[in-house]
Amino acid sequence: MNKLIDGTLIARDPETVWEDEESLSATAGIGAKVLLDVLANEGVEVIFGYPGGSLLTLYDALLDSPIRHVLPRHEQTCVHAADAYARISGKVGVCMATSGPGAANLVTGIANAYMDSIPIVIITGQVPTHLLGSDSFQEVDITGMTFPITKHSYLVKDAEDIPRIVKEAFHIAGTGRPGPVLIDLPKNIIAAEVTDPRPPKVSLKSYKFFTKGNSGQVEEAAKALAQSKKPVVYAGGGVITSGAGPVLRELIEKADIPVVTTLMGIGSVPSGHTNLLGMVGMHGTITANLAVNDCDLLIAVGVRFDDRVTSGLKHRFATKAKVIHIDIDPAEIGKVIRTQIPIVGDARLVLEELFQKVIPPDIPEWWEQLRRWQKEYPLQYEQDGHLNPQTILETMGKVGGENAIVTTDVGQHQMWAAQFYPVRSSRQFITSAGLGTMGFGFPAAIGAQIAKPDRLVFLVTGDGSFQMNIQELATTVQYQLPIKIILMNNGVLGMVRQWQKMFYNERFSQIQLHANPDFIKVAEAYGIPGIRVESPEQVETALQKALAIPGPVLIDFIISPDEVVLPMVPPGKAITEILGGNV
Amino acid sequence: MLHTLAVLVENNPGVLARISGLFARRAYNIYSLTVCQTENPSISLMTIVVEGDSQVIEQVTKQLHKLVVVHKVSNLSEEAVVDRELALIRVKVRSDTRLEVLQTVDIFRGRVVDMGRSNLTIELTGDEDKINAFIRTMRPYGILELVRTGKIAVARSDN
Ligand SMILES: Cc1ncc(C[n+]2csc(CCOP(=O)(O)OP(=O)(O)O)c2C)c(N)n1
Ligand SMILES: [Mg+2]
């Protein structure tokens, strides 16, 4: 349709150019049907959802859709599972919940995906349009509630908009810096006829993102690297999202420079790689932290200088370094740290270009220094005959093979997993980093196992976190998901206890989980076998036994509440003040 | 320092909430905000006066750009602009001050738009300084009510 505005012919090209019509199976029908058709055309294979009044028409239409629906036991699981599905598969994850309480139950998970820049599309039911704004039954303003934690959102007021909105939602969620996009669908809208189900090509004039970095800047970066004496690459989640892991590895090998990763960047360089100094930040390795502190060139890729890395002390972080910051989100550049060489673009494309231009710097003294630190401050733990969490993780790495997926909950067990599980590749270690959401791990394991039915999935959880979504044992059984649940059972909210121990004079407050159930009996009540492990000798056999069982298994590892995660940069302290290695 | 941002946004429900929410969440200080239609009915113009140093303004601009509803952000403080504000002011008058007030209104090129027995309502347009100056002069008489629109601005043509 062309439009005449003030005598000028404005070509409205987006609405006249249709997708290749033959590839579309969408036919006219009610909103619910058209929605599912368009989702199927987007390549959606599975929706994690939970029904309710406002979605009855959609659930009815679902019976005739090829899309698989997974029904967890809580909406929070729907969104976390979609999140993990996206992290594992690289596709956009999809979840769905009814209006009011259903939608509200998604909020934590939406925030989680937003903080870690994960592409998901969230579909919520809503009260009929004529009741909107009247405090009607099960009405919440979910778009309003989620403005700060969505990349974008839609409240659909006209069923004819459904095809366009769904297409836009997937485009926005999955491109640029990915993130959650919410579509709120009033009950009458999904029941209304859609006459034209063909989605127009996406044309969003106000939505832009960079892909290729500025070549002049990449040239500058290459020059800075060639001249540097103490370079370090600081790699984050953006490396994984953009698929830059392999080229990052080639780059650090060609230039022979050291690399540290964030919690989100774990797996971007395989564990054990000689150039990898480990994780940086609060529970990172001492070498990684000292390297960042001492470097003269910091090559930050797909990171956002989170305060778990910088301690929130921008004036004491990498103060001697020139900073190259490569990120797809221009707003991240200069947000926390002054950057000398900003490069806005897709991490993979930028690193590929940098790889072409790179001249290896001559840095034998730097490597000598780094190796000295590594020798002096290895990541270690006391093996005193007790059952150490670290042993469990190392053994899991041994028996689980190269391809096992690990999802974690939040707490000490998460940090031990980040430190000690040998992650070999991108999209293998799934954790709630930015939001630190207890209860994420089990839903994430479900999403991961649905995305990769043939891969081994370990859930590393704590007794506190596990009980935040323990009801998903039922989902695991219903969908026969062979998740191996590694429960680090210390009887306490361990991480909180650690802070009280270290920074509050051991004044322990509300960290005892006194009435913990017998987790094995709980598992067994769902038909899931359980194994209890209390000594280090039992670890390997128990893991092997669990792996030999075809379905889900829970291993209840009884560990001491007194264990602490070390090293640790105390809150608000510079990374040189790291504890646990006598720096 | 105050910066005037002209932000072209989609004319949809919820847009104002998205923008104001962004400012609130990131603790950017809005000094004034006006919303109006443009010649394109699907686009609105927000004129936002925000306080901050150049680094803050750079972040504000970048964060605004990230919103899908935002089409364009221009920092008018960096350009030559014409800016105006409109104020409606009701001032107390007595028989012995009425003339004085009317004369001042004249000097400031304001207009009396309503008149009661003991008060006058004055309309005044101008830049911020002029309106502030007028308000200062009226204060001794007793300001009963004061409404200001906040700033709107356009860039000056280059020739
Ligand atoms: C939803 C939520 N509530 C509270 C917290 C604060 N918190 C962080 S770690 C932690 C304790 C976790 O306990 P558990 O899951 O048993 O793990 P552990 O530290 O004992 O390994 C708490 C309460 C959080 N991160 N998330
Ligand atoms: Mg615990």
Q: CATH number for the domain including A322?
A: 3.40.50.1220
Q: With 70 as the cut, is the pLDDT of residue A583 above it?
A: no
Q: How far apart are CA A551 and CA A175, in angstroms?
A: 36
Query: Is A331–B65 a contact, with Cβ atoms under 8 angstroms apart?
Result: yes
**Band of the pLDDT at A20, cuts 50, 70, 90?**
very low
**Band of the pLDDT at A27, cuts 50, 70, 90?**
confident
Out of B40, B63, B68, the one facing A204 most closely (by C-beta) is B68
| A414 given a catalytic annotation | no
CA distance A144 to chain B (A): 8
CA of A495 to the centre of ligand 1 (A): 6
Do A473 and A522 form a contact (C-beta atoms < 8 A)? yes
Q: In chain A, whose CA is at the least distance from the CA of B63?
A: A331
Q: With 50 as the cut, is the pLDDT of residue A4 above it?
A: no
Give the phi and the psi of residue B69 in degrees, each rounded to 5.
-80, -10
Please tell me whether residues A99 and A187 are part of one structural domain. Answer: yes
Please tell me whether residues A414 and A314 are part of one structural domain. Answer: no
SS3 B145: strand
Binding-face residues of A in 162-181 toward B, CB within 8 A: 172
State pLDDT tens for residues A141-194.
999 999 999 999 999 999 999 999 999 999 999 999 999 999 999 999 999 999
Report chain B's mean pLDDT, rounded to a whole number.
93
CA of A330 to the centre of ligand 2 (A): 39
CA-nearest residue, atom 24 of ligand 1:
A438
Average pLDDT over residues A108-122: 98
Angle ∠(A412,A287,A540) on CA atoms, nearest 5: 45
Q: How far apart are CA A235 and CA A304, in angstroms?
A: 10
Give the helix ranges, DSSP H, for B52-154: 54-66, 98-107, 128-138
Q: With 60 as the cut, is the pLDDT of residue A2 above it?
A: no
CA distance A209 to chain B (A): 9
Please tell me whether residues A363 and A393 are part of one structural domain. Answer: no
Average pLDDT over residues A61-69: 98
Average pLDDT over residues B33-46: 94
Q: Residue A62 has what pLDDT?
A: 98
Q: Residue A6 has what pLDDT?
A: 37
Tally Cβ neighbours within 10 Å of residue B107: 9
Query: Is B13–A6 a contact, with Cβ atoms under 8 angstroms apart?
Result: no
Please tell me whether residues A230 and A362 are part of one structural domain. Answer: yes
Query: Could you tell me if residue A305 is left (phi over 0), alpha (psi between -120 and 50 degrees) or otherwise beta?
Result: left
Cβ of residue A94 closer than 8 Å to a chain B Cβ? no
Counting ligands in written order, the one closest to the CA of A498 is: 1
CA of B123 to the centre of ligand 2 (A): 67
Report chain A's mean pLDDT, rounded to a whole number.
94
The CA dihedral of A292, A295, A296, A298, to the nearest 10 degrees, is -30
Q: How far apart are CA A283 and CA A302, in angstroms?
A: 20
Give the residue from A159, A194, A229 where a domain finishes.
A194
Cβ of residue A314 closer than 8 Å to a chain B Cβ? no
**Is residue A160 included in any domain, yes or no?**
yes
State the residue range of the domain holding A227. 215-376
Counting ligands in written order, the one closest to the CA of A489 is: 2
CA of A511 to the centre of ligand 2 (A): 9
CA of A77 to the centre of ligand 2 (A): 20
Q: Residue A582 has what pLDDT?
A: 55
Residues 6+ apart with CB under 8 A from A500: A506, A507, A508, A509, A511
CA distance A566 to chain B (A): 33
Please tell me whether residues A190 and A225 are part of one structural domain. Answer: no
Residues of B in contact with A204 (CB under 8 A): 68
Please tell me whether residues A292 and A441 are part of one structural domain. Answer: no
Q: Which of A18-32, A257-271, B8-22, B93-107 is least confident?
A: A18-32
State pLDDT tens for residues A480-507.
999 999 999 999 999 999 999 999 999 9
Say if residue A246 is preceded by a cis peptide, omega within 30 of 0.
no
**Which atom of ligand 1 lies at the shortest distance from residue A488's CA?**
21
Q: In chain A, whose CA is at the least distance from the CA of B14?
A: A144
Query: Is A331–B70 a contact, with Cβ atoms under 8 angstroms apart?
Result: no
Q: Residue A576 has what pLDDT?
A: 85
Q: Which of A187, A230, A322, A484 is catalytic?
A: A187
Please tell me whether residues A189 and A225 are part of one structural domain. Answer: no
**Is residue A420 included in any domain, yes or no?**
yes
Out of A143, A152, A330, the one facing B68 most closely (by C-beta) is A152
**Is residue A89 included in any domain, yes or no?**
yes
Query: Does A441 contact ligand 1 (Cβ within 6 A)?
Result: no
Give the residue from A376, A398, A432 where a domain finishes.
A376
**Is residue A574 included in any domain, yes or no?**
no
| A75 given a catalytic annotation | yes
Query: Is B39–A6 a contact, with Cβ atoms under 8 angstroms apart?
Result: yes
Out of A207, A330, A335, the one facing B68 most closely (by C-beta) is A207
Please tell me whether residues A361 and A244 are part of one structural domain. Answer: yes
Residues 6+ apart with CB under 8 A from A135: none
Q: With 80 as the cut, is the pLDDT of residue A19 above it?
A: no
Query: Could you give the percent of chain A with pLDDT greater than 90?
Result: 91
**Is residue A478 included in any domain, yes or no?**
yes
Which residues are paired to B35 by β-bridges?
A: B46
Q: Residue A53 has what pLDDT?
A: 97
Size of interface A-B (CB pairs under 8 A): 39
Please tell me whether residues A157 and A231 are part of one structural domain. Answer: no
Task: Spell out where chain B has E strands.
Answer: 2-10, 29-37, 43-51, 70-75, 81-92, 111-115, 119-126, 143-148, 152-155
**Is residue A438 included in any domain, yes or no?**
yes
Domains along chain B with CATH numbers: 2-78 (3.30.70.260), 82-155 (3.30.70.1150)
b/e string for A532-545 if b means 16 or more Cβ within 10 A?
bbeebebbbebbee
| A187 given a catalytic annotation | yes
**Is residue A417 included in any domain, yes or no?**
yes
Q: Residue A24 has what pLDDT?
A: 53
Give the residue from A352, A376, A400 where a domain finishes.
A376
Tally Cβ neighbours within 10 Å of residue A12: 13
Q: Domain containing A510 — which CATH number?
A: 3.40.50.970
Q: In chain A, whose CA is at the least distance from the CA of B18?
A: A147
Q: Residue A300 has what pLDDT?
A: 98
Please tell me whether residues A279 and A181 are part of one structural domain. Answer: no
State pLDDT tens for residues A191-241.
999 999 999 999 998 999 989 999 999 999 999 999 999 999 999 999 999
Please tell me whether residues A185 and A220 are part of one structural domain. Answer: no
Please tell me whether residues A406 and A521 are part of one structural domain. Answer: yes
Out of A143, A329, A331, the one facing B14 most closely (by C-beta) is A143
**Is residue A367 included in any domain, yes or no?**
yes
Total domains, chain A: 3
Query: Is A155–B14 a contact, with Cβ atoms under 8 angstroms apart?
Result: yes
State pLDDT tens for residues A352-365.
999 999 999 999 99
- Written as one letter, the residue type at A47 is I
